[in-house]
Structure 1
Amino acid sequence: MKKQRMKAVALSTVISAGALLAGAAQADQTLNSILSVGQSKVDAARASQVRINKLQDQTSDLIVQFKQENKQIEGLRVYNKQMEKQLEAQRAALAELDDAIANVTVIQREVPPLIIRMLDAMEQFVELDAPYKKELRLERIAKQRANLDSAKITVAEKFRQVVELYNIEAEYARKVDSYPDSVTIEGQELDGTILAIGRVSLMFQTADRSVTAAWDRGLNKWVTLSADEYAGTVYNGIRMAQKKASNGILALPVHAPEAAQ
Structure 2
Amino acid sequence: MSPHAPRALAAALLLGSAPLLAAPLDAALDESQRLAAEAKASQARIAQLDDASREMLAEYRNALQQAEALQDYNSQLRELVAAQRQELAGYQRQLDGIERTQEAVTPQMRRMVEVLGQFIAADLPFLPEERADRLAQLQELLPRADVSLAEKYRRILEAYQVESDYGRTLEAWRGELPGEAGARSVEFLRLGRAMLYYQTLDGHESGWWNPHSRSWQLLNGDARRPLHRAIAIARQEQAPTLLELPVRTLSQEAGQ
Q: What amino acid sits opposite 2:240 in the alignment?
A: A
Structure 1's unaligned 5+ residue stretches are 148-152, 238-248, 255-261
Given that 1:130 and 1:215 are in contact with CA atoms closer than 8 Å, whether structure 2 keeps it comes out as: yes
Partner of 2:48: 50
Partner of 1:170: 161
Q: What amino acid sits opposite 1:133 in the alignment?
A: L
Partner of 1:246: none
In structure 1, C-alpha distance between the alignment counterparts of 2:81 and 2:241, rounded to whole Å: 64
Q: What amino acid sits opposite 1:171 in the alignment?
A: V
Which residue among 168, 179, 182 is the counterpart of 2:177?
A: 182
Query: Displacement of 1:51 after TM fit?
Result: 2.4
Q: What amino acid sits opposite 1:78 in the alignment?
A: Q
Instruction: State the TM-score, normalized to the length of structure 1.
Output: 0.56
Structure 2's unaligned 5+ residue stretches are 244-256
Tell me: CA distance 1:208–1:79, structure 2 relative to 1, closer, same or farther (3 Å): farther
Is 2:85 the partner of 1:90? no
In structure 1, C-alpha distance between the alignment counterparts of 2:187 and 2:195, rounded to whole Å: 14
Which residue among 238, 245, 251 is the counterpart of 2:240?
A: 251
Report SS of the residue matched to 1:193. strand
Query: Displacement of 1:84 after TM fit?
Result: 1.9
Query: Displacement of 1:140 after TM fit?
Result: 7.8
Q: Structure 1, residues 16-39: CA drift from partner, whole Å, max 9, x if none?
A: 334455334433322322222111
In structure 1, C-alpha distance between the alignment counterparts of 2:232 and 2:87, rounded to whole Å: 64
Report SS of the residue matched to 1:194. strand
Is 2:218 the partner of 1:230? no
Query: Displacement of 1:211 after TM fit?
Result: 6.1
Tell me: CA distance 1:143–1:46, structure 2 relative to 1, closer, same or farther (3 Å): closer
Query: Displacement of 1:169 after TM fit?
Result: 3.5
Q: What is the aligned-residue RMSD (CA, Å)?
A: 5.3
Given that 1:205 and 1:235 are in contact with CA atoms closer than 8 Å, whether structure 2 keeps it comes out as: no
Report SS of the residue matched to 2:126. coil
Given that 1:210 and 1:227 are in contact with CA atoms closer than 8 Å, whether structure 2 keeps it comes out as: no
In structure 2, C-alpha distance between the alignment counterparts of 1:197 and 1:29, rounded to whole Å: 137
Tell me: CA distance 1:228–1:143, structure 2 relative to 1, closer, same or farther (3 Å): closer
Partner of 2:76: 78
In structure 2, C-alpha distance between the alignment counterparts of 1:183 and 1:71, rounded to whole Å: 85
Instruction: State the TM-score, normalized to the length of structure 2.
Output: 0.57
In structure 2, C-alpha distance between the alignment counterparts of 1:140 and 1:32, rounded to whole Å: 116
Report SS of the residue matched to 2:177. strand
In structure 2, C-alpha distance between the alignment counterparts of 1:126 and 1:214, rounded to whole Å: 18
In structure 1, C-alpha distance between the alignment counterparts of 2:161 and 2:70, rounded to whole Å: 58
Tell me: CA distance 1:41–1:127, structure 2 relative to 1, closer, same or farther (3 Å): same
Given that 1:178 and 1:193 are in contact with CA atoms closer than 8 Å, whether structure 2 keeps it comes out as: yes
Which residue among 2, 14, 17 is the counterpart of 1:16?
A: 14
Tell me: CA distance 1:59–1:203, structure 2 relative to 1, closer, same or farther (3 Å): farther
In structure 2, C-alpha distance between the alignment counterparts of 1:60 and 1:68, rounded to whole Å: 12
Report SS of the residue matched to 1:180. strand
Query: Displacement of 1:54 after TM fit?
Result: 2.9
In structure 1, C-alpha distance between the alignment counterparts of 2:172 and 2:73, rounded to whole Å: 62
Report SS of the residue matched to 1:132. coil
Report SS of the residue matched to 2:82. helix
In structure 2, C-alpha distance between the alignment counterparts of 1:132 and 1:236, rounded to whole Å: 19
Total equivalences in the alignment: 225
Partner of 2:254: none
Q: What amino acid sits opposite 1:180 in the alignment?
A: G
Tell me: CA distance 1:52–1:126, structure 2 relative to 1, closer, same or farther (3 Å): same
Name which of structure 1's ranges 18-27 and 175-184 shifts more when overlaid on structure 2. 175-184
Q: Structure 1, residues 161-214: CA drift from partner, whole Å, max 9, x if none?
A: 787455324235389784514389xxxx97413356987996644323556788
Report SS of the residue matched to 2:12. helix
Given that 1:211 and 1:227 are in contact with CA atoms closer than 8 Å, whether structure 2 keeps it comes out as: no
Report SS of the residue matched to 2:32. helix
Partner of 1:150: none
